[in-house]
Every structure is written in C-alpha cells, then in structure tokens.
Chain A
Amino acid sequence: MNSSRILTRLASPRTGGLLALAILIALLPLALPNRYFYDVAILVGLNAIVCVGLNLLIGYAGQISLGHAGFFGLGAYGSAILATRYGWPPLAALLATTVAVALLAFIVGRPILRLKGHYLAMATLGLGIIIFMVLTTEDKFTGGPDGISVVPFRIGAFALQGEHIWYWVVGVLLLLAVWLALNLIESPTGRALRALHSSEVGAEVVGINAAEHKLMVFVISAVFASVAGSLGAHYSGFVTPSKAAFLHSIELVTMVVFGGLASTYGAVVGAAVLTTLPQLLTSFEDYEMMVFGALMIGTMVFLPRGVVPSIARLLASRRKAVPDDKADGK
C-alpha cells in the first residue's frame, strides 16, 4: 500500500478513529492523578458502551428509548443475583443475564416498536419504570431500595478488582463496542437502518423489513446496556435500583443526543462530557440540577445535531475539498 492509501484509510472513522481512541485510552492514565479519576474514567467508559448501543437505536434507526436504564439495571441485578446469591461463576452469570435481557428485549420490542414518535417514547418510558419498580419492590431477590452487594468478577482464580485493572477491561470493551457499532453502520444493514430512519416507507419498498430491523437494533442496544450494567455491578461491588431509574434513562439519552445523533464517537464524547460534568459541578451541588436541565435545553436549541456532528460540519465548511464520508458524520 502506498502512502496516500494509508492516509485515506487512517482518515476513515473505522481505522483512524479506532486507532485514535485506542491511543487515547492507552495514554489517558498518564493524566489521571489518583484512583478517583480512574473511577470517573471507568464510569465514562461504561456509560459510553451503553451510549454507543443506544445511538444505534436513536441516531441511526431513528427510534427512541426513554427506558434503557431498565436494561442496564437488569444486567446489573442479573449478574449480581446470580453471582452473589446463587454462587454462579461471574462469567456464566454475565452470559446468562445478557441472553435473558436480549430475550426480554426481543419479546417486548415487537409490540413496542410498532409505535412511533411520542407513543414509542412513552411506551419505553413505561417499560423502564416498571422494571425499576419491580427491582425496588421484590426485595427478597433484589434487596429492595438498598440494593445488594456484588462479589468481584472472577475468571478462574483471577479476580478483577481495583480501578487500574477495571480501567483496562472497560477500555478494551469500549473499543470492541465501537468497532462492532462502526462495522454495523458501514454494512448494508447499517445503510438499511439509516434509510428507514429517513423514510420508513421508502425503505420498505426496496425490500427492507423495517420491523425486523428496528427490533434487531433494539435488542443490540439492550445487550450493550445489559453487559455494561453487569460489569458496572461487579466493579462497584453493589447495585441499587437507581441504576434502572428514569433519571438514568434520561441521562443516557441526553448523552447520546448531546454527543451527536448518528455519530458513534459522538456517543462516546457525550458520555464523557455528561458523566464528568456532575463531578465538576459538585462545588455547585445545589445548582447541579438547574445546570443540567439548562444544558439539556441549551444543547437541543442551539446544537440540535449534537456536539460532534456540529464540530464536524464546522470543520468541513472550512476545508473545501472534503471526502464524502466525512460529511455523513460517522
């Protein structure tokens, strides 16, 4: 391969972007002074994994979910209960939980995704809240509002404990999640999703089964959320129902929209900014809610496409000769 081809490949979101993200993840620890920062980074990573999946649903397929924290919570509690209460090996618990959540998403997704717009939003909201209420109420299993503690993640004799190890685990998994998402987006399936976002009937008449595609993305995004939830449970060592709360669902959607709809890296950026923001705002503790709410409104009013696509556009308009795939915003 000659140098110009290498450069073109580097400029593409998949190769170049992944490389940049990998480098960022590898070098970030140099800038993190203590365990607290590692903790924040890990939270960012976990949220980012959920957001990458959620972005496929909201940004690419054009649907919406105001209840995704429900899947995150189910993943967390599933792993927690199976591994802690029933002594399952954590890896088996993770897999079993993921399969169960995928199945739930598949079953519930069919009727829910027949709805559109506000109705879809409300149905997913209802689902998320029902999950939250079940987790809070069935305290025999879930420990009720106080939650339960979770055993560390063990593979054989090796236990994953401590911020440093988890940082790398989450970092690698985030790279994997982004890679999978980008692969999907750039495949014919990804094009089909974007088509159905733009015009569902237009997509249907070229042979795209809209219902099937929407369901597929819904399940995939639920799986991403569930896995992140399971990992988060093992990392923190405990789970509470707040992981499945409506507020968490809203935070996730805001991260996706803020970062940029139909932008995988945007989802990562959104997760990063909106996870760290509350930490920065602790000095404004009382005003935190106001700032967050104002931020949500402000972003939607002034940057409706989200941060990353807006920046990409700005850069694209500065440079006249730009390859086509930049303008599509990956």
Chain B
Amino acid sequence: MSLLRVDGLEKKFGGVNAVEELSFEIRPGAVFSIIGPNGAGKTTLLNLLTGVYKPSAGRIEFDGHDLTGRAPHEYARHGIARTFQNLQIFFNMSALENVMVGRYMQERCGLMAALLHSPRLARAERACREDAAELMRYVGLQDYLSAASDAMPYGALKRLEIARALATRPKLMLLDEPAAGLNPTEVLELDDLIGKLTGRGVTVVLVEHNMRLVMGVSDHILVLDYGRKLAEGPAQAVRNDPRVIEAYLGSSATHDGSFGDAVAKAVAVGVEMHR
C-alpha cells in the first residue's frame, strides 16, 4: 500500500523538460531520498509534489486521493508538508509565530469569530502557543522560544521550517536540501531529527546532496538525472549502480574524490552511526 504514487509525471518549461516520464511509489514509514546532480529536477519534483508547480502531464496520487493539478494549500490539507531550499521563513514574525502559522489548518476560525474575538478564540490561541513551543523544543530550538525570526542563525532557521512543517500534522514530509549550509555537527543532529520524525509516524522524503546523510538515513533512493529516473532502489544497490556513478563523476557534490569512493565512505560511516 503506497502513500504517494507518481505516474508518468512531466513538467515542461518552454522547451525544457525539467521532469520527464517519472513514475515511482513511496511506502509509508520509509525514508525516501531523491538524489541527482545539480539541475536534475529534484526541486522541480518537490514543487510538483506540493502543488507549487502544475504538471504538464502525469498523475499524482496521495493516500488514495488524486491530487494532480491542485493548489498547494490542498496538498497541505491532505497531509503533505515541506521545507524549502531557499528558506521561506516568515521574517515579519517571531520564531514562535512561524510555527503557530503551521497550525493554521487545525485552528481555522471563521471570519466572524476572528472579527469578534470570542473568548473561545483566546483560549485556542493560548493552546496554539503552547503547542508551537512544544514543537520548537522537539526540533531542538528551545533556546529560541522568544526569538525574532530575523535574529536566528541559518541552522536554527532550517530547523524552524521543519517545526513549522511538523505543525501541520503531516503524513508525508518533504525536506528540500535540509543539510545545505550545515556544519557536520548540525548534520548529525539533523540525522537524529529525521529518525525522530519517522519514529513519530511521518514518512520522510529527502532531497539531498550530502551523501553521508543520505546513505545514513535512507531506506530507499531515487536517482534523477536530466529530469528522468536514472536508478531506484535500496541504498546499497544504488550506491553500486554504474549508471549512478557515471552521472556523478565530476559533479560538484559535497565530497572529495570519486563518487564511488565517497559513497563507500558514507555508507561505512552511516552504518557505524546506526550501530
């Protein structure tokens, strides 16, 4: 039983096929990673999976519902949440308020209730605040509970986006390069956090360049190249796939030496960490 099913997905921008004939399935409870060289279409795919882009062709089915071509807020309503490669933090509010916005779907009040500010609303607001604070602590942001979002360091902001995404109570969480710009310690913390997420029952999809992280957390990997599926399968299989190695030779991913070498090292470290 798949949680997310993509069939023949295509996205054209003018003459460019950003994504072509893409089909795959995501099982619930897994950590599914999408990797590929720069420009392979990973972020485009994420945008398609959250309704930010409309597909030129193909079908997206989530939890039994056909969500093809729907608006982003509808994807959110069905339980898909995401973070962004270029942070979309609401810098005009505090960190806590950012997470509180994530709770919007649970909180929705009618226009009249908002205009007249019923006492029920005041109580709901307090509950919302507490819930948001709890989520911030969960992702490790307990030091920033009363911080303004524009006063936070980059690594904290990335976690804030995750907290905000979690606040939507998603079934599926799409993380777009969460490790970008993080130092190795922070990456380890991220690894932990992803583990916590799956422990909580959230299926995680990771778009990443950091091979160490990918090999360490993933159950299943999809490799994209020029918008097409290059390879798919469990981490070990993908690591050894000659097509994948060839696609990555000479790329600017975050490692030294040849791809196969780095992947081997990463798998070793990953295996070590999960002992």
> Is B76 in contact with A204, judged by CB distance below 8 angstroms?
yes
Complex contact A188–B114 (CB within 8 A): yes
Contact between chains at A207 and B93 (CB < 8 Å): no
**How many residues of A are in contact with the other chain, CB < 8 A?**
32
Q: Closest B-chain residue to A181, C-beta based? A: B115
Q: Closest B-chain residue to A329, C-beta based?
A: B92
Q: Does A317 contact B (CB under 8 A)?
A: no
**Shortest Cβ distance from B125 into chain A, in angstroms?**
8
Residues in A neighbouring B138, C-beta threshold 8 A: none
Q: How far is the CA of A208 from the CA of B272 in the complex (A)?
A: 42
CB pair A327 B100 closer than 8 Å: no
Q: Whose C-beta in chain A lies nearest to the C-beta of B146?
A: A324
> Is A162 at the interface (CB under 8 A from chain B)?
no
- Contact digits for B129-173, partner A, Cβ 8 Å, 1 yes 0 no: 000000000000000001010000000000000001101100000
Taking the nearest CB of chain A, how far is it from the CB of B115, in angstroms? 5
Question: Residues 234-272 of chain B: 1 if any A CB is under 8 Å from the residue's CB, otherwise 0?
Answer: 000000000000000000000000000000000000000
A96 on the interface (CB 8 Å rule)? no
Expressed in whole angstroms, the minimum distance between the Cβ of A57 and any Cβ of chain B is 15
Identify which of B77, B104, B148 contacts A191 (C-beta below 8 A): B104
Chain B residues in 8 Å Cβ range of A202: 84, 88-90
Q: Report B-chain residues with C-beta under 8 Å of the C-beta of A190.
A: 114
CA separation between A216 and B103, bound complex, in Å?
A: 20
Produce 1/0 per residue, B160-190, CB < 8 A to A: 0000110110000000000000000000000
A198-B90 contact in complex given A183-B114, A203-B101, C-beta closer than 8 Å: yes
Alpha-carbon distance A192/B104, docked complex (angstroms): 7
Point out the residues of chain A lying under 8 angstroms from B128, CB to CB: 188
Q: Are B94 and A324 in contact (CB under 8 A)?
A: yes
A206→B102 contact, CB < 8 A: yes
Kindly state the separation between the CA atoms of A197 and B92 in the bound complex, as whole angstroms: 9
Question: Per-residue CB proximity of A171-195 to B under 8 Å, as 1/0?
Answer: 0000000001001101111111011
Interface pair A184/B115, CB less than 8 Å apart: yes
Task: From B7-15, B17-25, B105-113, give the one contacting chain A.
Answer: B105-113
Residues in chain A near residue B105, CB distance under 8 A: 206-207
Q: Find A184's partner among B71, B82, B114 (CB 8 Å cutoff).
A: B114
Q: Are A207 and B77 in contact (CB under 8 A)?
A: yes
Query: Whole-angstrom distance between the alpha carbons of A266 and B125 in the complex?
Result: 25
Task: Check: B29 CB closer than 8 A to any chain A CB.
Answer: no
B1 within 8 A of A: no
B28: interface (CB < 8 Å): no
B residues 201-221 with Cβ under 8 Å of A?
A: none
Residues of A with C-beta under 8 A to B101:
191-192, 195, 203, 206, 208
A to B contact number (C-beta, < 8 Å): 112
> B90 — nearest CB in chain A belongs to which residue?
A198
Residue in contact with A198 in the complex, picked from B50, B92, B117, B146, CB distance below 8 Å = B92
User: Which residues of A sit under 8 angstroms from B82, Cβ to Cβ?
Assistant: 205
Report A189-225 CB contacts with B as 1/0, cut-off 8 Å. Answer: 1111011011101111111111100001000000000
With A183-B114, A327-B148 known to touch, is A207 a contact of B90 (CB < 8 Å)?
no
Cα A262 to Cα B93 with chains together (Å): 12
When C-beta atoms are compared, the residue in chain B nearest to A262 turns out to be B92
B121 at the interface (CB under 8 A from A): yes
Within 8 A of B (CB), among A48-78: none
The yes or no answer to A328 lying at the interface (CB within 8 A) is: yes
- Residues A204 and B100 in contact, CB atoms below 8 Å apart: no
Docked complex Cα distance between A10 and B117 (Å): 17
Determine if B67 is an interface residue (Cβ-Cβ < 8 Å).
no
Indicate which residue in A191, A199, A208 contacts B88 across the interface (CB closer than 8 Å): A199
Q: Could you list some 6 contacts between A and B, CB below 8 A?
A: A187-B109, A203-B101, A206-B81, A206-B102, A206-B167, A210-B73
6 A-B pairs with the lowest CB-CB distances in the bound complex, closest first: A202-B88, A187-B114, A207-B76, A204-B72, A183-B117, A198-B90
Question: Which residues of A does B touch, CB under 8 Å?
Answer: 14, 180, 183-184, 186-192, 194-195, 197-199, 201-211, 216, 262, 324, 327-328
- Taking Cβ atoms with an 8 Å cutoff, the residues of B that contact A are 50-52, 71-73, 75-77, 81-82, 84, 88-94, 97, 100-105, 107-109, 111, 113-117, 121, 124-125, 128, 146, 148, 164-165, 167-168
Known contacts A191-B100, A198-B93; 14 additional CB pairs below 8 A are A188-B103, A188-B104, A188-B109, A190-B114, A191-B104, A197-B92, A198-B90, A198-B92, A199-B88, A206-B164, A206-B165, A206-B167, A207-B168, A208-B73
